Structure 1
Amino acid sequence: MGPLIWIIDEEWLDYEDEIRVLEQAFPSCAIKKSGYDYRGDLDKFGYLADAIISQIYVKLDAGAISKLEKCKVISVYGGGYDRVDVLSANKRGIAIAFVPGYCTDDIADYVMSCILRANKPIDSYGSALNDRIWGLPAAGKLRHRIQGSRLFIIGLGRIGRTAAAKAKALKMEVSAYDPYVNEEAMDSMGVRKYDSLEEGLGEADYVSVHARLTSETEGMIGIEQLSRMKPDALLINTARGKIVREKDLVEAVTNHIISGAIVDVVAVEPPSFDEPIFHCPGIAVTPHVSYLSVESFKELKTRTAENVVKVLRGEELKDIASV
């Protein structure tokens, strides 16, 4: 009898890529699936799982992890694993695997799309046409051209660096705040380093958040920081919703402290859709899709399953979370 692999997810429509990888490695493996309300299945069969494949929204806390009798790895669909109690898992000899870098270009492309949309809002002229308005009167408030505009990146990891390169290709001026990247490294990318988050915010036309969610970064952008931004600046968040204080962002946009925001992440996911951020004019919310393309989706599913195979075979795996 092969290993029992337990998938906990409610988002994917199929698991063809994962099953192909798992069955090729372990022809006699058993694969079972549960939704986000998995606790009942944990007691029925999940406690015997040799490996878990988990959607990023699934909370695997110390209580759930303590019941796992055979588990060797929890492989998370994504580059983040903030809902898994890594410390508890590690104490039980369970590796936490994740998939960094699979959607770097896709998210950077999303950021560029936000900047282009803000600069040339081609989907917003319907009312002008309905009112038979043409030319300059239809344009509304003019924005400065993208060339020469300033992009400030918070978190200069893989995605932040790729966004910087794409912005440089548009001839934007790029700066960043990242305490873990030195000035020499930023200089080599043509990026200006700010040691102060607030100073960088104050200079930017566009701000893009790419920091990892940690105890240090949670809530790092609130009304005080947003008030440092230019009144016509745009905030873009594709990282984690809790990095930006959602209530403060709504306040800042509502009171015209900043011009608006485009966010692909919110504080609570999946959301109820009743949260104020969904009903604030000036804030465009997309349903956590910035990472998606045909290529990124296939890579994510395949690598997540491959992480399981490597751990169960005792092979070296570099994409392991630690505390």
Structure 2
Amino acid sequence: MSETLRVLITDRPWSDSDIEREILAEVGAEVVDAPSGDEETLVEAARDCVAIATCWAKVTGRVIEAAEHCRVVSRMGIGLDNIAVDVATERGIPVTNVPDYCVEEVSDHALALLLALARNIGFFHGRTKRGEYDLSAAGAMRRLSECTLGLVGLGNTARALVPKARALGLTVIATTQSGNDYGTGCRMVPFEELLEESDFVSVHAPLTESTRRMFDAAAFGRMKRTAFLVNTSRGGLIDESALWEALQAGEIAGAGLDVFDPEPPDLQQPLFCDERVIVTPHAAFVSQESVVELRQRVAKQIAAVLCGERPASVVNPEVYDDGAAKKSGD
């Protein structure tokens, strides 16, 4: 192993790694940007690295196993479905994330999509840009104070959305596996009941084997024909083919999508070309402040591990509880 501590950044949507380089240089580490995020490239790039930071690239079991000197894998975000956490845990490697850095941004984005759908903003924008000025061309619009917003999942982002939605007069209900309302006062209902009652459904669930494609043909069949779906969580929660079929059949009124499966999506697909669907490029987490905060916190997590300290936001704490976490001198 080289004496230089090398930290691999698998992928990034920002232009440089200057923030990470500055923080990690203080602990004698250098940043290496992977030329691409495919598995074979990452396997080779990770071999002599002591840490891996990933945005959306998949840090598979093969990548982790190839990184024999790796001491930490850090998710530059919240969700963990692109990291083989189980493999990292078996190898005594802590995995970190930043679970609360963009709560305001994502809840704002979900609300923005809801409002754009409710007021036909996207539809009117597209039509007027083509030279058509016709109020009657759009679907019916409802008074928000007479509508219900259903939240699927009630984590930090969904909880931040609750008072914002209520300020507009929306009635807010929610569904979670536990039935816990986390002090929001939301009426908790089963998933199927939420689909049947809601005029807007906003998705805030993690992507797991049990939640993958939870929005399938059966789910869309339960929704109101006038309802809208908003997803700022994970693309894999929605069966995109089923969503397209539901739109064609008039089973729902439209959708606002910021996440996709895969990413980036094929924007030539009819779903994404439909006037009833608003598409944004996984932008919900972004603000100048949130991106700087994210990058600083991830770099500091890695620096902590390289200094032999326990980092913040460890998602597999058993590696420490079992005394198995890789030490800084390994």
Q: TM-score normalised to the size of structure 1?
A: 0.89
**Which of residues 168, 173, 185 in structure 2 aligns to 1:190?**
185
Secondary structure of 1:66's match? helix
Q: Does 1:117 align with 2:116?
A: yes
* 2:281 is the alignment partner of 1:249: no
For residues 8 and 262 of structure 1, the distance between their equivalents in structure 2, rounded to whole angstroms, comes to 29
Aligned to 1:92: 91
Counterpart residue number, 2:144: 146
Partner of 1:8: 10
User: Helix, strand or coil for the counterpart of 1:5?
Assistant: strand
Secondary structure of residue in 1 paired with 2:7: strand
The corresponding residue for 1:231 is: 225
In the alignment, structure 1 residue 63 sits paired with structure 2 residue 57: no
Aligned to 1:211: 205
Change (3 A) 1:258 1:298: same
Deviation at 1:38, TM superposition (A): 5.9
Residue 286 of structure 1 deviates from its aligned partner by 1.2
Q: SS of the counterpart of 2:31?
A: strand
Q: Would you say the 8 A contact 1:10–1:36 is kept in 2?
A: no
Superposed, 1:126-165 pairs within 5 Å as 127=127, 130=131, 138=136, 140-165=138-163
- Residue 208 of structure 1 aligns to a residue whose secondary structure is strand
SS at 1:147's partner residue? Answer: helix
Task: Name the stretch that deviates more: 276-285 or 109-118.
Answer: 276-285
Unaligned ranges ≥5, structure 1: none
Aligned residues: 312
Q: Contact conserved, 1:174 with 1:190, CA < 8 A, in 2?
A: no
SS in 1 for 2:278: strand
Q: CA deviation at 1:40?
A: 4.3
The one-letter code of the counterpart of 2:177 is P
Sort the Cα spacing of 1:142 and 1:302 in 2 relative to 1 into closer, same or farther, 3 A: same
> 2-side partners of 1:113 and 1:106: how far apart?
10
Contact 2:123 2:138 in 1 (8 A): no
CA–CA distance in structure 2, aligned partners of residues 132 and 284 of structure 1: 19
1:20-46 CA-partner distances (Å, limit 9, x unpaired): 21113x1x3222111213634643x53
Q: Does residue 1:50 correspond to 2:50, yes or no?
A: yes
CA contact (8 A) 1:226 1:252 kept: yes
Indicate if the aligned counterparts of 1:253 and 1:283 stay in contact, CA closer than 8 A. no
In structure 2, the residue matched to 1:81 is: 80
Matches within 5 A, 1:171-182: 171-182=169-180
The percentage of counterpart residues that share the same residue type is 31
Instruction: Give the whole-Å Cα distance in 2 for the aligned partners of 1:143 and 1:164.
Output: 22
What is the RMSD of the two structures over their aligned residues, measured on CA atoms? 2.2
Residue 214 of structure 2 is aligned to residue 259 of structure 1: no
CA 1:157–1:311: 2 relative to 1, 3 Å: same
**Larger deviation, residues 73-82 vs 312-321:** 312-321
Question: For the residues of structure 2 that align with 1:154 and 1:40, how far apart are their CA atoms?
Answer: 36
Question: CA contact under 8 A between 2:24 and 2:30: conserved in structure 1?
Answer: no
Cα shift readout 1:42-91 (whole Å, capped 9, x = no counterpart): 43x531111111122x1222222211111100111110121211111111
Read off the aligned partner of 2:281 and give its amino acid letter.
P
Preserved CA contact (<8 Å) 2:214 2:237:
yes
* Residue 293 of structure 2, aligned match among 285, 299, 302: 299
Could you list the per-position Cα deviations for residues 105-132 of structure 1 after superposition, in whole angstroms to 9, with x for gaps in the alignment? 1111111111221222345446469456
Match of 1:36 in 2: 37
Partner of residue 170, structure 1: 168
CA distance in 1, matches of 2:230, 2:11: 27
Alpha-carbon distance between aligned partners in 2 of 1:233 and 1:179, rounded to the nearest angstrom: 23
Q: TM-score, normalised by structure 2?
A: 0.88
Structure-1 separation of matches of 2:136 and 2:42: 58
DSSP-derived class of the 1:152 partner: strand
The Cα shift of 1:158 comes to 0.2
Q: 84-93 or 276-285, which moves further after superposition?
A: 276-285
CA distance in 1 between counterparts of 2:132 and 2:277 reads 25
Unaligned residue ranges in structure 2 (runs of 5+): 319-330
Write the distance in 1 (CA, Å) between the matches of 2:74 and 2:187: 36
Match of 2:323 in 1: none
- Tell me the secondary structure at the aligned position of residue 21 of structure 1: helix
Which 10-residue stretch deviates more, 65-74 or 3-12?
3-12
Hey, what's the Cα distance between the residues in 1 that align with 2:138 and 2:282?
Answer: 29
